[in-house]
């Protein structure tokens, strides 16, 4: 029981790990003994985050643009060159775009779907050899996709491509879970509610009081809430889950 939630010694890759939810998960992994690689599109931000996280353990910056297949392939190659086995892949990198219905542009759909959906698919596929090598009987390799409660319920803002993309991530999670179970890989999703992050900043600036009042637990999510869910899915405690979408939202999605 003392090792039930342990991830010590595991190798993890967290995309979009330089800030927000990705940073929260990466810090939780590092502080609990995992060897962590983080990626982000902006090299300077990724390098800075890795330096900060290295205060708590092992963290390496591997910048990448996951909006294109070549970027996913390059990231997978860079990680594989350092690590023959990858125990945990967290597909967190994402993009958002808000605009009124009448003005919502084609470019928004391309940017958001390329990063949020295609990026998840291509990176997971590219890292399958390393994930398969990491799998052990009773301790599968883990893929954790970061969706959103906006993919479960209608969002407050007009983020058409984002909410559609996160619903797609949830279902892609189920499809991949079915395909990869026989290869010793579980695939689950976390659907975060409101957390302090750059992506969530505008929504919280405009609707913080309303969001808190609508949350059965009466607060905004904290870093430990997100790190705890990811650690659970990555540890022995979560080894028998696959194809699940777990809302981490204080109960908002129940309304």
Catalytic sites, residue numbers: 162
**CA–CA distance from 213 to each of 46, 142, 150, 156, 202 (Å)?**
35, 35, 17, 14, 17
Q: What residues pair up with 13 in beta bridges, in sequence order?
A: 37, 89
Rg for the chain (alpha carbons), in Å?
A: 17
In this structure, what token pair is assigned to residue 93? Answer: 């990198």
Q: Residue for token digits 């470019």?
A: 107
Scored b (16 or more CB within 10 A) or e, 202-238 reads: ebbeeeeeebeebbeeeebbebebbbbbbbbbbbeeb
CA angle in degrees (0–180, nearest 5) for 168-173-174: 105
> What's the DSSP call for residue 252?
G
């Amino acid at each position: 029981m003392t090792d039930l939630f342990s991830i010590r010694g595991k190798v993890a890759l967290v995309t979009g790990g330089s800030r927000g939810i990705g940073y929260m998960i990466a810090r939780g992994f590092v502080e609990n003994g995992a060897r962590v690689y983080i990626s982000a599109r902006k090299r300077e931000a990724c390098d800075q985050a890795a330096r900060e996280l290295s205060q708590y353990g092992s963290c390496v910056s591997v910048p990448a643009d996951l909006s294109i297949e070549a970027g996913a392939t390059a990231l997978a190659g860079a990680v594989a060159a350092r690590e023959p086995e990858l125990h945990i892949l967290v597909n967190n990198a994402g993009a958002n775009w808000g605009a009124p219905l009448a003005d919502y542009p084609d470019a928004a759909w391309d940017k958001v779907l390329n990063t949020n959906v295609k990026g998840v698919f291509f990176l997971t596929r590219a890292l399958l050899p390393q994930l398969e090598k990491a799998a052990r009987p009773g301790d599968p390799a883990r893929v954790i996709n970061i969706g959103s409660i906006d993919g479960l319920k209608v969002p407050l803002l007009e983020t058409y491509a984002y909410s559609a993309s996160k619903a797609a991530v949830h279902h892609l999670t189920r499809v991949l879970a079915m395909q990869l179970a026989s290869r010793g890989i579980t695939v689950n999703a976390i659907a975060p509610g409101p957390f302090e992050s750059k992506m969530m900043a505008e929504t919280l600036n405009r609707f913080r009081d309303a969001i808190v009042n609508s949350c059965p637990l009466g607060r905004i999510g904290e870093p430990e809430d997100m790190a705890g869910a990811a650690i659970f899915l990555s540890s022995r405690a979560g080894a028998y889950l696959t194809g699940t979408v777990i809302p981490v939202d204080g109960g908002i999605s129940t309304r």
